């Protein structure tokens, strides 16, 4: 598509749910663009900023001292307006007004669906960077924010374990993941949980009860991790169903909630974000568009939006299930 001399001005934005490491990605995009002599504009509040002309220039100093901060300095939003044909027309007018030649979108699959529609309708050159704590994207081994979110959840479960052990209690801990059980599964194994319930796999209360019966004689405290999207209805509902069957259990429920989205990004997330930002700018300069930057086997790779979006089906956790079953006995 484009060549280096055709792209002079890049716009960057964050979209969807915030993820630790987004600021590191913004910083990498801005500094890489300036390294190559390009102008950069920050688009505020995701696609809303394009629709509503909420744009500001970004220099290298504007992204100083943000690599360690969670959240996103550009703020994020889900844009209903951009989902309409008229909204995307308004977004293109904003780009033309500012002379923006190409966009770098930091977000998840909803962000890339919007990007694909924008490209098809208006020929906009776009490259995506993964920014979602759910780790549910095709084309990459991990997404920006996942490592931090999982570490945060693990540390909290470690603390819950302390009090569960002190009182012989059964704790149900709900972690984020409406359609993805990645945080639940990784956190469950890392924190030594006895059982994990994820939305990708049908797990009835009977299966959980069987696991509890196996551990009842050997363990004084039990922790069950529940992904918020689990079909049994979340941690409170799961706890209620177990209590109905086993009234003698002293149960407690802890919903970790949005605390998992915040906090300083880990080394892994800062590295992934930094590498992704550099790769995204260089991809545009090399004439690439309609692709997402991901990391596979330690290497930065480009995957088309269409392939990424067709491959976002939930990951197969069979191996992790097997490991959890062995380690939780």
Catalytically annotated residues: 134
Contact, 149 vs 261, CB < 8 A?
Answer: yes
- Strand boundaries in the chain, DSSP class E: 9-14, 39-43, 55-57, 102-107, 125-130, 170-175, 195-197, 222-227, 251-255, 291-296, 299-304
- In whole angstroms, how far apart are CA 317 and each of 145, 184, 197, 280? 19, 11, 11, 29
Nearest-10 Cα torsion for 80, 74, 119, 179: -60
Residues paired with residue 283 on neighbouring β-strands, in sequence order: none
Task: Pull the structure tokens for residue 43.
Answer: 């688009």
Which residue in 169, 150, 271, 276 sits closest to 212, CA to CA?
Answer: 169
- In whole angstroms, how far apart are CA 218 and each of 14, 221, 254, 320, 326? 48, 9, 23, 23, 15
Return d(Cα 155, Cα 164) in angstroms, integer. Answer: 14
Return d(Cα 282, Cα 300) in angstroms, integer. Answer: 12
DSSP class of residue 293 equals E
DSSP class of residue 268 equals H
> Residues with Cβ < 8 Å from 244, sequence gap 6 or more?
none
Dihedral angle sign, alpha carbons of residues 284, 287, 292, 296: negative
């Amino acid at each position: 598509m484009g060549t280096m001399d055709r792209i002079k001005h890049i716009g960057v934005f964050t979209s969807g749910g915030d993820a630790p490491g987004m600021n590191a990605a913004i910083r990498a995009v801005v500094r890489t663009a300036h390294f190559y002599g390009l102008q950069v504009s920050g688009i505020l509040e995701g696609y809303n900023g394009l629709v509503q002309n909420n744009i500001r220039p970004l220099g290298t100093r504007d992204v100083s001292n943000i690599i360690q901060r969670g959240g996103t300095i550009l703020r994020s939003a889900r844009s209903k307006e951009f989902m309409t044909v008229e909204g995307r027309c308004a977004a293109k007018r904003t780009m033309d007004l500012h002379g923006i030649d190409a966009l770098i979108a930091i977000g998840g699959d909803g962000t890339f669906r919007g990007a694909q529609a924008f490209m098809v309708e208006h020929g906009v050159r776009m490259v995506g960077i993964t920014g979602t704590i759910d780790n549910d994207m095709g084309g990459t081994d991990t997404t920006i924010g996942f490592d931090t979110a999982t570490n945060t959840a693990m540390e909290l479960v470690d603390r819950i374990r302390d009090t569960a052990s002190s009182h012989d209690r059964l704790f149900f801990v709900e972690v984020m993941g409406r359609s993805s059980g990645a945080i639940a599964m990784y956190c469950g194994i890392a924190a030594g949980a006895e059982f994990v319930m994820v939305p990708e796999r049908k797990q009835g209360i009977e299966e959980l009860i069987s696991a509890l019966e196996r551990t009842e004689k050997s363990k004084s405290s039990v922790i069950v991790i529940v992904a918020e999207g689990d079909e049994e209805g979340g941690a409170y509902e799961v706890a209620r169903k177990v209590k109905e069957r086993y009234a003698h259990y002293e149960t407690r429920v802890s919903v970790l909630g949005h605390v998992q989205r915040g906090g300083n990004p880990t080394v892994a997330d800062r590295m992934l974000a930094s590498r992704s930002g550099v790769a995204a700018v260089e991809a545009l300069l090399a004439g690439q568009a309609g692709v997402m930057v991901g990391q596979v086997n330690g290497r930065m790779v480009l995957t088309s939006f269409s392939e990424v979006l067709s491959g976002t089906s939930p990951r197969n956790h069979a191996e992790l299930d097997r490991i959890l079953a062995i380690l939780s006995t």
